[in-house]
Amino acid sequence: MSRSARLLDLLQLLRRHRRPLAGSAIAAELGISLRTLYRDIATLQAQGAAIDGAPGLGYVLEPGFTLPPLMFSLDELEALALGSRWVMDRGDRRLGEAARDALAKLAAVLPAELRRELDTSPLLVGPGEPIAAGGPASAGDAELAAIRLAIRSEHKLEVRYRDADGRDSRRLIWPFALGFFDRARVVVAWCELRQSIRHFRTDRIAELAATGLRYPRRRQALLDEWRRSQGMAER
């Protein structure tokens, strides 16, 4: 592996973690010695990378540091193209347009060779099950946009929810995640009625209203709690 590729891998590894990583763990994952790691970190710091830490304390890449697009690998470009195509096909209209615009912005700043790789990526999104739509309990683009806005602003939503047996209930929820599946879209939220984290299929939300009220916990804390309950590692 060339030194430039190794430095890029080091940056990418640090970007994936929000907390300091021990030098020994970094060196082991990259397959290099601690001495080489310390030298590489010093090189990156001299080039402007905002890496904080020291031997024995661990290292973390401070927020805000970005890599130039030309440093994307072919695998990374294919992943971006595939993910964006999935969102264009499976997301709501606004998310689909955003994914298309993001790909266009990326293509505009890529070198010609990498732009061709992005435009001609052979990874395709196959047809999936259609989202339930058209009925009185169907969530359209406007409702999904309202849900995503509530998640970003950490605001409560008032909903009328219809369960699998057709029974209605009024809920005040704290939405903190929205899952996109082939057959359904699911809001993950704290439910004040049930006093626990619940999952709400958007096609069963009969009515939805923004409250403008901020819920008392941080979205990330709720998401971490949900991940622990699902046996997932925190990110």
pLDDT at 143 over 90: no
Looking at residue 233, its pLDDT comes to 61
Q: For residues 198-218, give the mean pLDDT.
A: 95
pLDDT at 131 over 60: no
What's the pLDDT tens digit per position in 185-204?
A: 899 999 999 999 999 999 99
Ranges 181-190, 197-206, 208-217: which has the least confidence: 181-190
- pTM value? 0.62
Angle ∠(20,227,217) on CA atoms, nearest 5: 85
Looking at residue 133, its pLDDT comes to 44
Q: Is CATH 2.60.40.10 the classification given to domain 3-61?
A: no
Domain ranges, ordered by start, for the chain: 3-61, 69-119, 141-229
User: At the topology level of CATH, where does 141-229 sit?
Assistant: SH3 type barrels. (2.30.30)
Dist CA 185 CA 139 (whole Å): 9
pLDDT at 209 over 90: yes
Looking at residue 108, its pLDDT comes to 79
Report whether 77 contacts 117 (CB < 8 A). yes
The length of the chain is 235
Average pLDDT score, the chain: 85
Considering only residues 96 and 127, tell me which one the structure prediction assigns the higher pLDDT. 96
By percentage, how much of the chain surpasses pLDDT 70?
89
β-bridge mates for residue 46, sequence order: none
3-61 and 141-229 share one fold = no
User: How many C-beta atoms surround the C-beta of residue 215 within 10 A?
Assistant: 22
Q: Assign 67 a pLDDT band (cuts: 50, 70, 90).
A: low
Looking at residue 114, its pLDDT comes to 79
Closest-CA residue to 160 (of 189, 213, 202, 216): 202
β-bridge mates for residue 59, sequence order: 21, 53
The distance from CA 125 to its chain's CA centroid, rounded to whole angstroms, is 19
Dist CA 4 CA 43 (whole Å): 11
Q: Which two tokens stand for residue 21?
A: 């990583």
Considering only residues 116 and 149, tell me which one the structure prediction assigns the higher pLDDT. 149
What's the pLDDT tens digit per position in 27-58?
A: 999 999 999 999 999 988 887 888 998 888 89
What's the pLDDT tens digit per position in 94-123?
A: 888 899 998 888 887 777 777 888 888 888
In sequence order, the 6+-apart residues with CB closer than 8 A to the CB of 208 are 139, 143, 146, 147, 157, 158, 159, 160
